[in-house]
Chains A and B, each alone.
Chain A
Amino acid sequence: QVQLQESGPGLVKPSQTLSLTCTVSGGSISSGSYYWSWIRQPAGKGLEWIGRIYTSGSTNYNPSLKSRVTISVDTSKNQFSLKLSSVTAADTAVYYCARDLQQLAHYYYYYGMDVWGQGTTVTVSS
């Protein structure tokens, strides 16, 4: 069964770039009708969708973060990555990677995030 694991620095200085990688195991990142997503959650708060990538390289980003976000995929390593530039304390959160699965229902296709990593805490502080 597919598993996801986030990795990257737990501490990032203000104004620097946050970089995280999600490693996919138990299956190929290129197989199936999946997008690969990043979501974050500040402590004690709700979920914020950051963006997603298809293995073709097609991306969708949260407009509120779009100017600072880059999501990329490396199919040879079975990984996808998140870069968030010019970070501030407001970017401190648990960051999750997830598989966005396309499923058929009511004769149409729908996306839902069915596999998640365990999450990694990133703190922005000097």
Chain B
Amino acid sequence: DIQMTQSPSSLSASVGDRVTITCRASQSISDYLNWYQQKPGKAPKLLIYAASSLQSGVPSRFSGSGSGTDFTLTISSLQPEDFATYYCQQSYSTLIFTFGPGTKVDIK
């Protein structure tokens, strides 16, 4: 199975900060990597697919990069509505679409 890790597991940031979250796969997944945002009590929301493609309707302050085993989600200027937990998910192996453990972004 492909294992996904994320770092950090949590971070504190201020409005306007640039935030970077890292996701690593246990083997190469090319660019078959999605990013989701989840707020408490809500379903996840797809932000980025194919490692760097912005899902329709998602603000341009969100961006993704990477390929192979190392990926990054960047929020260029953190907004109040961005405080949430972020999950990466690989879609390379159709045997199992593994999620990362999540990164919680809260207010400093």
Residues of A within 8 A of B (CB): 37, 46-49, 52, 60, 62-63, 96, 98, 103, 105-106, 108, 110-114, 116-119
How far is it, in angstroms, between the C-alpha of A71 and the C-alpha of B99 when the chains are bound? 20
CB A16 to nearest CB in B, in angstroms, measures 25
How far is it, in angstroms, between the C-alpha of A117 and the C-alpha of B98 when the chains are bound? 19
**Do A105 and B50 contact each other (CB < 8 Å), given the known contacts A47-B44, A117-B43?**
yes
Give chain B residues whose Cβ lies under 8 Å from the Cβ of A108.
50
- Segment at the A interface, from B10-18, B69-77, B89-97: B89-97
Q: Contact check, B55 vs A114: say whether CB atoms are below 8 A apart.
A: yes
User: A47-B44, A47-B89, A49-B98 given. 7 additional CB < 8 A pairs?
Assistant: A46-B100, A63-B95, A106-B50, A110-B50, A111-B97, A112-B49, A112-B55
Give chain A residues whose Cβ lies under 8 Å from the Cβ of B34.
110, 112-113
Question: Residue B46 at the A interface, CB < 8 A?
Answer: yes
The 10 closest A-B pairs by CB, nearest first: A116-B43, A112-B49, A105-B50, A110-B50, A47-B99, A105-B53, A49-B97, A112-B34, A114-B46, A111-B91
Q: Contact check, A46 vs B46: say whether CB atoms are below 8 A apart.
A: no
Max chain B C-beta neighbours (<10 A), residue from A47, A96, A111, A116: A47
Give chain B residues whose Cβ lies under 8 Å from the Cβ of A119.
43
Look across to chain A and name the residue whose beta carbon is closest to the beta carbon of B48.
A112
Q: Contact check, A60 vs B43: say whether CB atoms are below 8 A apart.
A: no
Question: Residue B66 at the A interface, CB < 8 A?
Answer: no
Give chain A residues whose Cβ lies under 8 Å from the Cβ of B97.
37, 49, 52, 111
Q: Contact check, B44 vs A46: say whether CB atoms are below 8 A apart.
A: no
Q: List 19 A-B pairs, Cβ < 8 Å.
A: A37-B97, A46-B100, A46-B102, A47-B89, A47-B99, A48-B99, A49-B97, A96-B43, A103-B53, A105-B50, A110-B50, A111-B91, A111-B97, A112-B49, A112-B50, A114-B46, A116-B44, A117-B43, A118-B42
